[in-house]
Amino acid sequence: MENDVKEILISQDEIIAKVKELGQQISKDYSEDQELIVVGILKGAIIFLSDLVREINLPIALDFMAVSSYGSSTESSGAVRILKDLERDVENKHVLIVEDIVDTGLTLKYLLDNLHARKPASVKTCTLLDKPSRRLVDVTVNYNGFSIPDKFVVGYGLDYGETYRNLPYIAVLKPETYQ
């Protein structure tokens, strides 16, 4: 697996420090009497989510959604499908969407529109990675780990063809790996 890596973009130590910082900021922004539901977007956000919630010093509930806009490609198709919906009712509750990466913004916009229709008290977003240069729609990322250049990345939950998720860092693959 590591032979397929062209470069490490964000180290494991940088990720650990940023996740701690994000968890502390989220803890400051919500109060203990607010019912906070943290919604992880499967599968990519699972590793980030697991580390992040351990850094949030508030009572939280966890739920998950699975959406697809990539398939097995390195480019978003733009068409978003819900593969797994929430199990919890979010009406009048505070929702924090946790994503692995915001690229075109199409998936996040779809999720925000979908969740706002359920009448939560608030909806905020947290992403490990942001590629603002690829944005096609205007979306707000409330908590952002790292802004990255327009490179296809894997690791720390992000995959190519369902592999590389378990790398402990964010890496750029050698082009011959996915072309």
103 assigned to active site: yes
Distance of CA 37 to CAs 15, 17, 48, 94, 128, Å? 23, 23, 16, 6, 18
Token pair in block for residue 148: 């990255």
Using only C-alpha atoms, the chain has a radius of gyration, in whole angstroms, of 16
CA 144, 69, 79, 136 torsion-angle sign: positive
| Beta carbons within 8 Å of 18's beta carbon, 6+ residues apart | 128, 145, 146
Catalytic residue among 4, 13, 51, 103: 103
Q: Among all residues, which ones are annotated catalytic?
A: 103
